[in-house]
Amino acid sequence: MSIASGFAHDLFISYAHADDKPSGGRTAGFVSQFVTDLMAEVERKLGGALDIWWDHHDLAGNMPVSPEIVEAASQAAGIVVLVSPAYLRSAWCRRERSTFLQALRARARTGAVFIVSIENLAREKLPEEFQDLVGYPFWQQLDDDRTTRPLRVDFETERQTYYDRLCKLVQNVADHLDALAARAPEKRGAIDSVERVVDADAPRVVLAEVTDDLVHQREDVRSYLEQLGFVVLPKRRYSRDDLALHRTQLREDLEQARLFVQLLGPLAGDRSDEPRGMAWLRWSVADEVLSHESIIQWRDPQLAIDTIDDADAQALLRLPTVRSCGLAELKRAIAETLQRPKRTMVAPVPKCVFVNAEGADRAFADQISAWLADHGYIVLDPPNASDPAEWRESWENNLTHCQSLMLIYGQTKPGWITQQVLQSMKVNARRSEPIELWSVCVGPPPVEPDKLSRLGLRFEALRFLRCERGFDETELRRFTDLLEAPGDIA
């Protein structure tokens, strides 16, 4: 008798016969071992036996789909697909899969598809119906970084990984069966993706897709967070054929998430659509939507950044939002961040920046002012009065009300910068609260020797932005990070 009320079977197992042949001295093949363990864990979790339909005798690959298969597929609450190269090559598996999906669409009941990968397969190699589903990796990568094989429960070093992933699958199967029991039949849809039943108010986190070398670490983080009751996005893979749609899908998830987490390694990722790699694309979208305090990037502390040949991967790893720590420490940090009480959102008063420049540097200053304004800051331009008294009044007014002063040191003489700093200090002394951030943006053109050596000005609170070769968004983000940093910047 099935656990899911109204269904003849709880799960239908779809697999290739070749994947259940014993090897390496084992008496049971991978699929037989997997199904046995799956049934035992579900019984432990739910206190009842799982009704699984699987044909472990007649999967030769050249027979028609029997009426028994059609009946089992149409009466199963879900399907577990064990994906492998043998599965993808099997015409029988293709017919079996098609039969199950057609049965789901034809009946007014809910079905779930659980993808179990026993080899590392590129998304585009999967059947189209499964490419958007997030699966469960049950494979081990060997030390040549290209060969993979199914996890071995009889290997002590792999036993815990195998059972951790099995238990995660079991939890999601249990959640799905519980959800079926809670739904009224008339409200059931045609086919559902696998999603845990969680508190609607549970914090959400976007855990970015990773390069192949970090798949297991990402799965470890995802499993840990889901076990704590957090909602981990994405639930479906984003489009790779349409990059604009990919950005939109990521943005939609980010807008409902409290945190963006990205695991980074020495690889920049696929460059077929994004010149700097997909990892850069994902970070750039997150950077547009979330504040830096809501972005956590991670790298292995054993990774030597200077030895990485890929310049884009190296630059990404040097971002200020990247943490270098153990994976366990990262998981705890993510959980602690998500568990903090959500702050009441009060519209912040935008900070004010006085961008001061002489005539020759006004065009460059306008670029910076426009960028700051686009990012929510109030920007004060240099006075434009011909009357000296009026000019002086406007200049002092700007200095009195700004939170930050930025001087543009491009084509102007070093003496002008020194004079502005000294004169501004006098106004600052009369303010009720001092200027928070003093900065000099070293603008074009580049000069030899270094322009800063010509300045001859030492002031501990002064921060320098290096933009000699033109507008540099990275430097401006460093400036805004300093301006938004809590506490006394100086």
**pLDDT tens column, 219-258:** 888 878 886 778 899 987 788 778 888 889 999 999 999 9
Shared domain check, 377 and 242: no
Shared domain check, 359 and 323: no
Cα–Cα distance measured from residue 315 to residue 299, given in angstroms and rounded to the nearest whole number: 13
Residue 15 within any structural domain of the chain: yes
Domain boundaries, position 363:
352-484
Residue 489 within any structural domain of the chain: no
Confidence grade of residue 75 (pLDDT, cut at 50, 70, 90): confident
**pLDDT tens column, 379-415:** 999 998 889 999 999 999 999 999 999 999 999 999 9
Tell me how many degrees the CA angle 83-85-86 measures, rounded to the nearest 5. Answer: 90
Cα–Cα distance measured from residue 44 to residue 338, given in angstroms and rounded to the nearest whole number: 30
The residue with tokens 């502390």 is 301
Residue 181 within any structural domain of the chain: yes
What are the DSSP calls for 291-354, one per residue? -GGGEEEEE-TT--GGG---HHHHHHHTSTTEEES-HHHHHHHHHHHHHSPPPP--PPPPPEEE
Checking if the pLDDT of 424 tops 60, the result is yes
Of 318, 344, 370, the position where a domain reaches its end is 344
Confidence grade of residue 208 (pLDDT, cut at 50, 70, 90): very high
Question: 113 and 79 in contact (C-beta within 8 Å)?
Answer: yes
As beta bridge partners, residue 202 has none
Give the DSSP H/E element, type plus range, for residue 466: strand 462-466
Of 169, 197, 225, the position where a domain reaches its end is 197
Checking if the pLDDT of 190 tops 50, the result is no
Cα–Cα distance measured from residue 317 to residue 331, given in angstroms and rounded to the nearest whole number: 19
Of 172, 197, 222, the position where a domain reaches its end is 197
Cα–Cα distance measured from residue 367 to residue 370, given in angstroms and rounded to the nearest whole number: 5
Confidence grade of residue 109 (pLDDT, cut at 50, 70, 90): very low
Confidence grade of residue 59 (pLDDT, cut at 50, 70, 90): very low
Confidence grade of residue 155 (pLDDT, cut at 50, 70, 90): confident
Shared domain check, 290 and 207: yes
Residue 26 within any structural domain of the chain: yes
Shared domain check, 426 and 311: no
Confidence grade of residue 480 (pLDDT, cut at 50, 70, 90): very high
* Mean pLDDT of the region 182-203: 48
Cα–Cα distance measured from residue 476 to residue 19, given in angstroms and rounded to the nearest whole number: 55
Shared domain check, 52 and 17: yes
Shared domain check, 11 and 150: yes
* Mean pLDDT of the region 456-469: 90
**pLDDT tens column, 260-309:** 999 999 987 777 777 888 899 899 999 988 888 899 999 999 999 989 98
Shared domain check, 229 and 168: no
| pLDDT for 443 | 95
**pLDDT tens column, 432-442:** 899 999 999 99
Shared domain check, 140 and 54: yes
Residue 1 within any structural domain of the chain: yes
Cβ-Cβ contacts under 8 Å for 145 (sequence gap 6 or more): 213
Q: In this predicted model, which residue has the larger pLDDT, 351 or 106?
A: 351
For the chain, what is the mean pLDDT? 83
Confidence grade of residue 100 (pLDDT, cut at 50, 70, 90): low
Shared domain check, 204 and 191: no
- pTM, whole model, 2 decimals? 0.44
* Mean pLDDT of the region 354-361: 95
Tell me how many degrees the CA angle 416-418-420 measures, rounded to the nearest 5. Answer: 70
Residue 490 within any structural domain of the chain: no
Residue 298 within any structural domain of the chain: yes
Checking if the pLDDT of 56 tops 60, the result is no
Q: In terms of Cα–Cα distance, which of 236, 247, 281, 282 is closest to 123?
A: 236
Assign residue 86 the CATH number of its domain.
3.40.50.10140
Shared domain check, 277 and 176: no
Shared domain check, 324 and 357: no
* Mean pLDDT of the region 462-485: 91
* Mean pLDDT of the region 427-434: 91
Cα–Cα distance measured from residue 106 to residue 100, given in angstroms and rounded to the nearest whole number: 10
Compute the residue count for the chain. 490
Tell me how many degrees the CA angle 208-210-214 measures, rounded to the nearest 5. Answer: 130
| pLDDT for 347 | 58
Confidence grade of residue 77 (pLDDT, cut at 50, 70, 90): confident
Alpha carbon distances (Å) from 168 to 164, 175, 407: 6, 11, 56
- What is the count of structural domains for the chain? 3
Shared domain check, 49 and 176: yes
